Amino acid sequence: MTTPQHSAVRARSAAPAGGAPAIEFVGVNKNYLSHGETVPAVKRTDLAIGQGEFFSLLGPSGCGKTTTMRMIAGFEEPTAGKVFLDGNDVTGVSANKRDVNMVFQSYALFPHLNTYQNVAFGLERKKVAKNEISRRVGEILEIVSLTGMEKRSPREMSGGQQQRVALARALVNRPRALLLDEPLGALDLKLRQQMQIELKRIQREVGITFVYVTHDQGEALTMSDRIAVMNAGVIEQLGTPREIYERPASRFVAGFIGTSNIVDGHVDRVEGGLALLSYTAQDRVVVPAPQSVRQGDKLEVSIRPEKIDLHRGVPPVQATGGSVLSGTVTEVVYHGTSTNYTVSTAAGADFTVFDQNASNADDLADRGDRVYLTWAPQHSYMIGD
Amino acid sequence: MNRVKRQIAPYLLVLPGGIWLLIFFAVPMFAMLSLSLQEGDIVHGYRFTGHWQTYTEAISAYQEQIIRSLIYGVIATILLIAIAFPMAYWIAFYGGRRKGSYLFLVLLPFFVSFVLRTISWKQILTDEGPVLQPLRDLGLISQAFHILGTPYAVILGLVYNFLPFMVLPIYVALERIDPRVVEAARDLYANPATTFRKVIFPLALPGVFAGVLMTFIPASSDFVNSEVLGSSDTTMIGQVIQTQFLENSDYPTASALSFVLMLVLLIGVFSYARILGTEDVMKVAAR
């Protein structure tokens, strides 16, 4: 796809290196009053989101991600702490005076206005000249592929089109940051995947900081530069999608992002930076461990299902350096590109194993089969503290 | 067979309403129309003569009352919007969990007879009543000051009696506004006043429109408030029609006046709808 020159919209793409973060939270917390009781929604949070970053707030419902976003927008004020936009303290500044715009979950388009009037709303409030408004609305409608839809009213448009109007209505103002609250939640799978790519393209084109709230880990992984995983009002982990997936900082993150197998056990031996957890004479888990780990320590280890090899016979000799767990297959589910096995292991935990259906057309094992699971030491990951 | 049934079903459903409309609306209308074109008196009976002059005579005799009724109706309707909108707005946006209770309070006077409520206003507004007597004692109003018998009392009665009919439709319209749409306006740099002007009010207009229809028509043809709270200077057309029917037994004149009133109200309402049709209202407000 050729990228048209949207010079005006690009204007801010080059953020000054080493300048203030686009958004910064300093010691922010937020309590709600519910039935006379104080309920913490966001606990003491420090956060810095860089210029031009695609940043996701990921977590289950009620984790505080939406409250965090609403504090950036100015719809909620922190109970304590400060919010900065581009280095300026905006704590206590009302939403209409903040240079950020929001794409709402249900789009929240003005039902009495057509596409053009919806998109022009913000510029009109800013008293931008009429011909300048019409130029910028035309330009942004081109970016979101809605040219020719100016006269349509929201109810005459599909969900996907309304979504684009909501996006255009926010972007046309060239905000310092764009806040997106589960914007793809109402779309069907196909359209959602299409819009994910589209959003990423638009973000590259306009160069504005995107803060994206979602409970969909797949969406967060594919689109984000960095992700903050939230749970119970706390950021559990902040990092790139790869960091979060490969090295989850807590049991919660390991479980929330993709599928994880988690086993715990006591350290039998520490040798050459590897800790060994034994369950029986053959069953053992090997995990890279820091110096501080001692014999007898209790560890929690996470292993991703696609890293595990499944064998029907006695494990091959080369596996002796890594982890080996024996078990019984309790479930086989065919997924097209892969087959997923559930194995009840000697370590006490049920394991999920993804086996790519690449070369072997037949399943490796059936329900009730005795199997051996093996994986390399570097694919074991010691969780958090 | 099934297909035939399915095609007939909608007509069967409309039948009770249709019959009701025919018996209690269409038939009396024609009877009245015929009556308005008859001549005679209560002793010798009435005969249909096609005497349309009754209309011109009635209009010239009572044009003052017709115009006064319309003026009272318009003033009452404007006051109703001014009072009901903030009430409905407050209940819809600040009512919280007690919205239902507040709406019930608005409707509560309905449980008392219309006439009785109006008569109690008479007792409140009377010269020796609980409002005027203390004010007079304090020297805040002159001895000659009174409210009863003035147009103010009549319009006050109209506003009081029809308030729920304006509050409810506006409330429903406001209640249906998605709070996120209001937030979106704030997000797009609109201050509270602009948000109200550009988003909340335009979205509430269908409710205002419905409220106007439900109050202007009965207020203009009301015959109780002026009777109880007014004087001979505030006579409304509804009273005239009632007197002609029930006291003077001048059925042709009463019928003719009823038709004139109906026609005037229909013209008024249709031109109002044409100028401010709900769909167009929004487009106007959007500019």
* DSSP, residue by residue, B211-225: HHHHHHHHHHT--SH
Residue of B nearest to A96 (CA): B189
Alpha carbons B220 and B208: distance in angstroms, whole number: 17
Distance CA A207, CA A201 (A): 10
Q: How far is B203 from chain A (nearest CA, A)?
A: 7
Tokens of B130: 């609980």
Q: What's at B217, amino acid-wise?
A: I
CB atoms within 10 A of CB B249: 12
Interface mutation target, options B180, B182, B189, chain A, most CBs of A under 10 Å = B189
Q: Residue A75: closest CA among chain B residues belongs to which residue?
A: B183
Pairwise CA distance, residues A369 & A343, whole Å: 9
- Record: contact B286-A121, CB cut-off 8 A: no
Q: pLDDT value at position A178?
A: 95
Nearest chain A residue (CA) to B192: A96
**Surface-to-core class of residue B274, CB atoms within 10 Å of its CB (0-12 exposed, 13-18 middle, 19+ buried):** exposed
Mean pLDDT of all residues in B272-282? 63
pTM of the model: 0.78
Angle at CA A99, nearest 5°, toward A95 and A104? 60
Q: How far is B171 from chain A (nearest CA, A)?
A: 18
A102–B202 C-beta distance less than 8 A: no
Nearest to A312 by CA among A264, A284, A353: A353
What residue in A sits closest to B191 (Cα-Cα)? Answer: A96
pLDDT per residue as tens, chain A (385 positions): 334 443 333 333 334 445 789 999 999 999 988 778 888 889 988 999 999 999 999 999 889 999 999 999 999 999 999 999 999 999 999 999 999 999 998 899 999 999 999 999 999 999 999 999 999 999 999 988 899 999 999 999 998 899 999 999 999 999 999 999 998 887 888 888 888 888 888 898 888 999 999 999 989 998 999 999 999 999 999 999 999 998 888 889 988 988 889 998 899 988 888 998 988 888 889 999 888 888 888 888 999 999 998 888 776 655 567 899 999 999 999 888 888 999 999 888 899 999 887 666 566 788 888 999 999 888 998 886 5
User: Which residues of chain B are within 8 Å of residue A74 when distances are taken between CB atoms?
Assistant: 186
Question: What confidence tier does B270 reach under pLDDT thresholds 50, 70, 90?
Answer: confident
> A168 near A146, Cβ under 8 Å?
yes
- pLDDT tens per residue across span A126-142: 999 999 999 999 999 99
Contacts A121 to B, Cβ<8 Å? 185, 188, 190, 198
Whole-angstrom distance, CA of residue B101 vs CA of residue B110: 15
Taking CB atoms and an 8 Å limit, are B186 and A75 in contact across chains? Answer: yes
Q: How far is A187 from chain B (nearest CA, A)?
A: 19
pLDDT confidence tier of residue B280, bands split at 50, 70 and 90 = low
**Contact A112/B186, CB-based, under 8 Å?**
no
Q: Which of B186, B194, B199 sits opposite A110 (nearest CB)?
A: B199
B279 has pLDDT over 80: no
User: Testing the interface with B: which of A33, A70, A96 to mutate, by most B Cβ within 10 A?
Assistant: A96
Minimal Cβ distance to B178: which of A97, A108, A126:
A108
Q: CB–CB of A75 and B203 under 8 A?
A: no
User: Which of A71, A125, A128, A140 to probe by mutation at the B interface, max B CB count within 10 Å?
Assistant: A125
Q: What is the pLDDT at residue B48?
A: 85
pLDDT score, position B39:
87
Residue with tokens 């950036």: A72
CB contact under 8 A, B190 and A121: yes
Rounded Cα–Cα distance for residues A120 and A140 (Å): 10
pLDDT reported for residue B116: 92
Contact assignment for B188 to A75 by CB distance below 8 Å: no
How many whole angstroms separate alpha carbon B62 and alpha carbon A335? 86
A33-66: pLDDT as tens digits:
877 888 888 998 899 999 999 999 999 988 999 9
Q: How confident is the model at residue B284 (pLDDT cuts 50, 70, 90)?
A: very low
Q: What percent of chain B has pLDDT over 70?
A: 95
Q: In the structure, what pLDDT confidence band is assigned to residue B175 with cuts at 50, 70 and 90?
A: very high
Name beta bridge partners: A181. Answer: A213
Quick one: which of B85, B122, B21, B102 has its CA closest to B215? Answer: B85
Q: How far is residue B24's CA from residue B41's CA, in Å, rounded to a whole number? A: 26
pLDDT at A15 (0 to 100): 40
Give the mean model confidence (pLDDT) for residues B192-199.
Answer: 95
| Mean of pLDDT values over B151-166 | 95
Q: Which residues of B fall within a CB distance of 8 Å from A126?
A: 189
- The reply to whether residue A110 touches residue B185, judged by beta carbons under 8 angstroms, is yes
Q: How does DSSP classify residue A104?
A: B
Of A101, A105, A111, the CB nearest to B188: A101
Beta bridge partner(s), residue A178:
A101, A210
pLDDT for the residue numbered B257: 93
Residue B1, pLDDT > 70, answer no
Residues in chain B with CB shorter than 8 Å from the CB of A105 are 180
Whether the per-residue pLDDT at B166 is higher than 80: the answer is: yes
Check CB contact under 8 Å for A96 and B181. no
Pairwise CA distance, residues B121 & B115, whole Å: 10
Q: Which residue of A has its CA nearest to B202?
A: A112
Residue written as token pair 């448009």: A157
Taking the C-alpha atoms of residue A177 and residue A183, their distance in angstroms, rounded to an integer, is 15
